[in-house]
Amino acid sequence: MPEIWLNYGATDVVLDIKAENLEQKIEHDGQVLQDSELSERLDSLDVTKPLDLVVLNYTDSVKKTLGLVFEKCTQKSVPRPKIFADKQIMNLVKSALPPDGQVLAFEGMDDANPDLVFVGEMEFDGLFGFDTVSTKLLRRFGKDQMLSAYEKRQGNLPLSGKETESMQTAKGFTDSFEISAIEIVATQKGIADMSVGHPSKTLGISKTLGTFVQKIDKHRTLLISTGKDSSNYTLGRSLNSVWNCHSAIRDDGLALLLCECKGGIGSEAIRQYLEGRLSTDRLQRPAKYVDGMEDLLYLTEIQKKIQIGLVSVLPEFYLKNLNLIPFDGVKETLDHVLKVQGGRQKVSIVPDGSRILLEPN
């Protein structure tokens, strides 16, 4: 019996599946950069000048990058940069720093200056194509421009991994700031690419992430793990892994998503929908953008063709109101498949759903 470990929040859980029920394990098998290559990429960052590093999402690759920057500071006998982060990840970031390290809350872009260096790992994004430092900053600090980005979408389905007009809005937003970024593309094995410079330039390494594509035959059932804690912290973040994989599932098929969601819903639009304050009719031509509106739109459209089930800590009441099938654990998902689709049904596993894009043959 194969034993497959899948990420679920801060831990991994085991899926015990019979060999006759396992169709395939779908992973990206790309090359990663050596530490010496990463260090060379970071040489363009002048650590002898005052720097403030702002951590936008906390992953193993971001942790490694911070460590490499600190090593350069030690080699040049200069003080380490100040570290800033969003309040919800401050403790995580601090846990990776030396004992005397401090993490400060990043409040906003009002005082943005050339000392600020934003650090983030790139993922796929249904609206922008790619989730970059530029799009993260636009979503967080340019909410007045998000309606324009939303209106530029092409259709009602996610365009993960594609070049989109919405990305131009994000580039325009960051162009107005004299800041820098360390943009990272990574897999579960390590860092595949890195770029240092202005955020409107570093997003160019999306070409590397754009190669994380697997063309496969359509499956009846996919069991998907987001691959890392930061990608399943909230429901809004977790659903990106479904957007990455939905086109590889047959009509009337099933997507099973492992996503702890310890941060809750994480989408104001989904929250307002659950509270009866936002109807799906408003998603087509809204007068005002509500955070996560595109995810509610994609969920509504994709569920016309496939079912989605979740293993999470979210209340069952929420999930059922979103037409999602709630499960208590990964074993229960497999039991459900075999009961509903037959004991000989084969299931394919996607261990790193946030960093792979599935396309049908």
One DSSP character per residue, 53-101 reads EEESS--HHHHHHHHHHHHHHHHTT-PPPEEEE-GGGHHHHHHTS-TT-
pLDDT digits (tens, 9 = 90+) for 2-36: 789 999 998 999 988 888 888 999 998 888 999 99
Looking at domain 35-209, its CATH superfamily turns out to be: LarA, N-terminal domain (3.40.50.11440)
- Mean pLDDT computed over 306-335: 95
CATH topology of domain 3-28+213-360: 2-enoyl-CoA Hydratase; Chain A, domain 1 (3.90.226)
Q: Looking at residue 97, what is its pLDDT?
A: 83
**Quick check: do 3-28+213-360 and 35-209 share a fold?**
no
Total residue length of the chain: 361
Identify whether the C-beta of residue 153 lies closer than 8 Å to the C-beta of residue 162: no
pLDDT digits (tens, 9 = 90+) for 263-310: 999 999 999 999 999 999 999 999 999 999 999 999 999 999 999 999
pLDDT digits (tens, 9 = 90+) for 178-221: 999 999 999 999 999 999 999 999 999 999 999 999 999 999 99
Q: Could you count the other beta carbons within 10 Å of the beta carbon of residue 73?
A: 15
Q: What is the spatial distance between Cα 142 and Cα 244, in angstroms, rounded to a whole number?
A: 25
Q: Tell the burial category of 361 from Cβ atoms under 10 Å away from its Cβ (0-12, 13-18, 19+).
A: exposed
Identify whether the C-beta of residue 199 lies closer than 8 Å to the C-beta of residue 179: yes
Q: Looking at residue 171, what is its pLDDT?
A: 95
Q: Looking at residue 233, what is its pLDDT?
A: 93
Query: Hey, what are 78's tokens?
Result: 């200069």
- Mean pLDDT computed over 236-250: 96
Q: Domain limits of the chain?
A: 3-28+213-360, 35-209
Q: Looking at residue 29, what is its pLDDT?
A: 81
Instruction: Please spell the DSSP secondary structure of 159-198, one letter per residue.
Output: -TTS--THHHHHHHHHHTS--EEEEEEEETTEEEEEEEE-
Q: Looking at residue 1, what is its pLDDT?
A: 62
Residue 5: beta bridge partners? 14
Identify whether the C-beta of residue 240 lies closer than 8 Å to the C-beta of residue 124: yes
pLDDT digits (tens, 9 = 90+) for 48-81: 998 999 999 999 999 999 999 999 999 999 999 9
- Mean pLDDT computed over 133-160: 95
Residue 196: beta bridge partners? 182
**% of the chain with per-residue pLDDT over 90:** 81
Give the HSE-up count for residue 142: Cα atoms under 13 Å, Cβ half-sphere: 22
* Sign of the torsion angle spanned by Cα atoms 259, 262, 266, 269: positive
**% of the chain with per-residue pLDDT over 70:** 100
pLDDT digits (tens, 9 = 90+) for 222-237: 999 999 999 999 999 9
Question: What are the two backbone dihedrals, phi and then psi, of residue 238, each rounded to the nearest 5 degrees?
Answer: -65, -35
Strand order in the sheet with 180-187: 103-105, 82-85, 52-55, 116-121, 180-187, 190-197
